[in-house]
Amino acid sequence: MPARRPLASFALLSLLAGAAAAAPVYRTGAVPGDTDWFTVANWYDEALGAPALPTILDDVTIGDATYLTPATVDVAAGGEVGAMAGTLALAKGAGTAGTLNLHPGGSLSVASVLVVGTGGTGTLNQSGGWLQAGATAVGLGGWLGPGLSGTGSFLQTGGTHIVFPDSDFGSGALFVGAGTGGTGAYSLGGADALLQTPSTLVGFLGGDGTFTHTAGSHLITSDSEGPNGSVGPGVPGLFIGFGLAEDPTQEEEGSWIGLQSTGSYSLTGGTLTILRTASPIPSEPPLGAVVWLGTAGTGTLLLGDANGTGTLSEADPFQPAGGEVGVSLLLRPMPFDGGDTATVRGWGVTGLTGVLLNNGRVIADGYGVDRDLDLRSFSLVASFAGLDPSVPLLQGDGTQAGWYAQNHGRLLLPTYVDGPLVLWGTAPLGDGADEAGVPVNCLALMFQGLQEAPPLSIALLAPDRADLPPGTTGTILGIWDIALESPLLNGVSAELTFRYDDFLAAAIGLAEADILIYHFDGLSWVPLETFVDTEAHTAMTSGVTSFSPFAVGLNITNQPAAIPEPGTLALLGLGALGLLRRRRRAN
């Protein structure tokens, strides 16, 4: 049998949980009421058996049941080289509490790992100054079952916090809520606050993490190297709700376990920038840095709220080496035992140019105001949800993978074009792939009389938007605005196939067999001749020669009565579901 190869993430958790540096140094209360880091008398070096300031080689603890708990330390300007430690733990052990306050002008250097809450309750407040570490973990638990149950809180309202790649320990990341029982919260606010990390993991290997970003800059440098720094699937970036790992208790390689994790990242202000990198693993299309949601866990990315939104973008690395690819957004890309849920919700314009893979839910939410979630920067929008049992359409929380718009939201996506076929909200993914998933509210257009589809744009609209035809009402499952750059030539028409929301139909008591497609002709909503496949949950119409908003549902109107529009379903033999799932290979 081959030797056991422990996963890097487990090695990291082991290090964070209690690996010792050269000497243990503890904060004491020898000078009551004095919280200054540089008060020598308030430190105890066990190796020396005497008070001593921590050095860059020491294993430092603030908040320990033997020496002092709760313990509070302030770092302001002082010392020739600032405060330092080899490893630093705030609140180490059950029932402990430790707080560190980093003020403007202060500096703290941690050579290896900074842990905020490992068994106890740790707090780090940074209002200014400089903080650097080989890794930072906020809220550290155990692994392979209940363990330390640490709770951590990191409030950064100013200053700079930098995590450097650390090849010695395989860390090089910020962890917020890591390990079973680990609960962490990171808050980034303040216009001049800067957080720089090689990778960031929120809700990792059984942990529960929350990241709230209201102002300031979060830069993910994507420069972790190898399997240690590129935690999890082997690529750097932002991971939210990731609990899949190789089982270190098994001798054979390839044995996986899922430690259910919960993570959320809320971006309501400031900037989140991820640097592009070359693909570290073979893939088609190439996969570089990523935003990864929901594997053996629940991952949620919230973009904006009622008051504002932040900026999500990518940039070139500091020293481009060539071969860099765009940053991808992946929702539930590796489902594990059916317990995965991934959600992106909100509004704003993203600047990511990689692949948008949606096996979860993307929701345009205007929070009561007509607003857009504009994702047209992505080079490809794809899905394989529902193609086979390994990637079910149903998520772990009981919702269906798909595209949604609510609260005055509008969703904008790029289209996929293959000759006369246009797909919106899905596309085949991978070399040789010829099928695409069918997430809720995706659609297909097949043009008749053209070899290439004409330029067009498609958006999914919430039914309460102010820019809909006035008085629009009815039992509405979805509204899509399809706009061509120029009218179709005589003799050219299109077949339209919509994958409607069958869960919504059931919830409002609409029988799927009664569903109709409606077209707004400039004056009123006109019902079209419709073929409904109640097993595939698709609605299809043909002979369409003009474009504007289309709706799927029943009794949709803005007039007392609607006049039927002639149509033909002579080409229904192609099958509605086939239009969404099949495509000819692009040249």
pLDDT at residue number 298: 97
pLDDT at residue number 519: 97
Q: Which amino acid is at 483?
A: A
By residue range, what is the domain housing residue 522? Answer: 455-568
Question: Which pTM was predicted?
Answer: 0.92
**By three-state DSSP, how is residue 580 classified?**
helix
In a domain, 55, yes or no: no
388 vs 488, higher pLDDT: 488
Average pLDDT over residues 522-549: 96
What is the number of alpha carbons within 13 Å of residue 324 lying toward its C-beta? 21
Question: How many domains are contained in the chain?
Answer: 1
**Phi and psi dihedrals of 178, rounded to 5?**
-130, 135
557-587 pLDDT tens trace? 996 544 455 444 433 333 444 555 444 333 3
In a domain, 463, yes or no: yes
Least confident of 146-150, 372-376, 578-582: 578-582
For residues 294 and 340, is the Cβ–Cβ distance under 8 A?
yes
In a domain, 505, yes or no: yes
Residue 258 binned pLDDT confidence (cut-offs 50, 70, 90): confident
In a domain, 5, yes or no: no
In a domain, 418, yes or no: no
pLDDT at residue number 388: 82
Cα distance between residue 208 and residue 178, in whole Å? 7
Q: Which amino acid is at 151?
A: T
250 vs 320, higher pLDDT: 320
In a domain, 358, yes or no: no
DSSP H or E stretch at residue 8: helix 8-18
**Phi and psi dihedrals of 18, rounded to 5?**
170, 15
Least confident of 81-85, 224-228, 270-274, 504-508: 224-228
In a domain, 267, yes or no: no
415-430 pLDDT tens trace? 999 999 999 999 988 7
In a domain, 344, yes or no: no
**pLDDT > 90? residue 346:** yes
For residues 27 and 58, is the Cβ–Cβ distance under 8 A?
no
Selection from 286-295, 483-492, 513-522 with the highest mean pLDDT: 513-522
